[in-house]
Amino acid sequence: MTAERGLIVVVEDEHAIADVARLYLVEAGFGVHLSRDGLSGLADIRRLRPAAAVVDIGLPGLDGIELVRRLRAENDWTPVLFSTARDAEVDRVLGLELGGDDYLTKPSSPRELATRVSALVRRSRVREASTVLRRGSWELDATRRTVHVDGRPVDLTTTEFDLLAQLMRSPGQVFTRTQLLAEVWGVADYSGTRTVDTHIAQVRAKMGAPDRIRTVRGVGYALDA
């Protein structure tokens, strides 16, 4: 099923959770395809090329982390929101390192799920008026959604790309975590500010110059001008 805002693949083996997610995503204007295990979910994402995917980590057959690992190995950067009952920080960080764009911990509000998916899809479709940003050896092309350092391509997730673009558009400006949540995640206020720190760490590692994204203690982050 497709709708005006695009198709979302929900990979979830708990039928009740999947059905509620589908209800709220349909209300938000999306089409929804449900997959019940990791292998079928992987095949469905490859086949359907959705606007985004909601992937449970604890899936039968093939877990959600391995599912996304295989997609990214194929250079498939479908935006992914991880859904997990595991509350350990290591699971969250591992998922984001492997190319997840956001996560929700179960039990979660289905309305928040729809909001976060909407923001994820919106970010993946944004095209900036000024397509190329250059800051020293860093080059970001917003139309092609590519990033290069000294001419070397850097693979970023959808969220990592949008976070870097936000910083590169305003070098020297200090952004609070709440501002970054609003601008990049599309959520004005929620308790997940730690996810900003996780994504910043990933961008620093991938760009290879961690000092260029400066931590302003007690405030947030800035890209050195």
Q: Which of 125, 160, 178 is the last residue before a domain boundary?
A: 125
Q: Mind spelling out the 3-state secondary structure of 196-210?
A: HHHHHHHHHHHHCCH
Beta-strand relationship, 52-56 and 80-84: parallel
Residues 113 and 150 in one domain: no
- pLDDT (0 to 100) of residue 94: 74
- pLDDT (0 to 100) of residue 188: 54
**76 in Cβ contact with 110 (< 8 Å):** no
DSSP string of 111-178, one letter each residue: HHHHHHHHHHHHHHH---SS-EEEETTEEEETTTTEEEETTEEE---HHHHHHHHHHHHSTT--EEHH
Residue in the structure block whose two tokens are 């708990």? 14
Residues 110 and 188 in one domain: no
Beta-strand relationship, 31-35 and 52-56: unpaired
- pLDDT (0 to 100) of residue 2: 44
Residues 190 and 139 in one domain: yes
- pLDDT (0 to 100) of residue 15: 93
Domain around 170: 132-223
- pLDDT (0 to 100) of residue 128: 42
- pLDDT (0 to 100) of residue 32: 92
Domain count along the chain: 2
- pLDDT (0 to 100) of residue 204: 95
- pLDDT (0 to 100) of residue 127: 46
Residues 68 and 174 in one domain: no
Q: Find, among 140, 58, 71, the residue nearest to 100 by Cα.
A: 71
Identify whether 2 is part of a domain.
no
Q: Find, among 114, 80, 129, the residue nearest to 100 by Cα.
A: 80
User: Which stretches of the chain drop beneath a pLDDT of 70?
Assistant: 1-4, 87-90, 93, 125-130, 186-192
- pLDDT (0 to 100) of residue 90: 67
What the block records as the tokens of 117 is 């998916």
Identify whether 1 is part of a domain.
no
Q: pTM, whole model, 2 decimals?
A: 0.68
Residue 196: CATH number of its domain:
1.10.10.10
Give Cα 27 to chain centroid, integer Å: 22
Residues 72 and 99 in one domain: yes
- pLDDT (0 to 100) of residue 71: 93
Distance CA 81, CA 128 (A): 23
Q: Which of 125, 148, 172 is the last residue before a domain boundary?
A: 125
